[in-house]
């Protein structure tokens, strides 16, 4: 529990300072410590809480028309994602998680200019695929970044609207996994989900406060570099762990 709390706290602080998604840091780190299925479930719970709390702070900048285009469709993507989690071994889940995080990092630094694609279809598509990615890996960033580029979404509106979208994706992922009993490690680890969720709420609140203080002395660029470094190391570690699980 202590390791889970530290990972969530660091991820929330870095999200508050740099704007990077909390799942990008938390998911690969927790997958190494407590396993990919349970690690992503905890990440989904964290995303739900952080998305809700940050949503309250940026409420006036949220573009609700965009949210209703993307958010509800995440529920559809979460269902096959939860089924896949229940079918794959820990090794394959680790490899998928690590690969998606690496993809997210590459897109962050090297995504070329993309052609415009307006209308409802790209939003619906991003919602379904983002919900699937979020459920299987805890990271929907690659899909949402691509959608923001092709739809010419301004950064301020995108950053604010992503909070209720992340909240919805996280909640849909948790609900789908619990209903379909996709994460057997919960019972094996002896975790009480009620207390776990309450603990996550407390840690995220603490992380937001500490992140606000940290932002006064640490630049967003430095925090973003640290977040990407931790995410990259965690992703590579997850891939290596997955390969070893499959071959040893």
Would you say residue 133 has pLDDT above 70? yes
- Cβ atoms of 94 and 239 closer than 8 Å: yes
pLDDT at 39 over 70: yes
Instruction: Please give, one letter per residue, the 3-state secondary structure of 45-60.
Output: HHHHHHHHHHHHHCHH
Averaged pLDDT of the chain:
86
Other C-beta atoms lying within 10 Å of the C-beta of residue 105: 21
Res. 215: pLDDT tops 90: no
Q: Which residues contact 92 (CB under 8 A, 6 or more apart)?
A: 242, 246
- Are 104 and 122 spatial neighbours (Cβ–Cβ below 8 Å)? no
Domains of the chain, by residue range, sit at 2-183+192-243
The stretch 87-113 carries a mean pLDDT of 84
Res 231: pLDDT: 82
Q: With the CA atoms of 37, 178, 43 and 110 taken in that order, what torsion angle do they form, in degrees rounded to the nearest 10? A: 70
Residues 135 and 88 sit within 8 Å (Cβ to Cβ): no
- At 167-206, the pLDDT tens digits run 999 999 999 999 998 876 554 556 677 888 899 999 999 9
Tell me how far the alpha carbon of residue 67 is from its chain's centroid.
17
At 124, the pLDDT band (50, 70, 90 cuts) reads very high
pLDDT at 185: 58
Task: Give the torsion through C-alpha atoms of 89, 94, 95, 98, to 10 deg.
Answer: 160
For the chain, helix (H) and strand (E) counts, in that order, are: 12, 0
Q: Is 165's pLDDT higher than 90? A: yes
């Amino acid at each position: 529990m202590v390791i889970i709390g530290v990972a969530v706290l660091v991820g929330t602080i870095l999200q508050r300072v740099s704007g990077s998604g909390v799942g990008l840091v938390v998911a690969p780190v927790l997958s190494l410590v407590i396993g990919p299925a349970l690690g992503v479930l905890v990440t989904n719970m964290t995303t739900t809480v952080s998305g809700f709390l940050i949503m309250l702070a940026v409420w006036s900048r949220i573009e609700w028309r965009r949210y209703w285009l993307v958010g509800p469709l995440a529920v559809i993507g979460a269902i096959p994602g939860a089924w896949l989690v229940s079918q794959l071994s820990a090794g394959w889940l680790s490899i998928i998680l690590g690969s998606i995080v690496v993809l997210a990092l590459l897109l962050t630094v090297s995504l070329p200019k993309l052609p415009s694609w307006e209308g409802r279809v790209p939003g619906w598509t991003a919602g379904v695929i983002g919900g699937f990615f979020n459920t299987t890996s805890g990271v929907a960033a690659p899909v949402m970044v691509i959608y923001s580029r092709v739809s010419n979404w301004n950064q301020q509106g995108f950053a604010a609207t992503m909070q209720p979208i992340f909240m919805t994706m996280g909640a849909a992922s948790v609900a789908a996994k619990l209903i379909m009993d996709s994460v057997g490690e919960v019972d094996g680890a002896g975790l009480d989900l009620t207390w776990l969720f309450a603990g996550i709420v407390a840690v995220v609140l603490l992380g937001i406060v500490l992140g606000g203080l940290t932002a006064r002395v640490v630049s967003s660029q430095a925090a973003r570099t640290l977040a990407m470094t931790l995410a990259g190391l965690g992703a590579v570690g997850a891939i290596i762990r997955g390969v070893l699980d499959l071959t040893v």
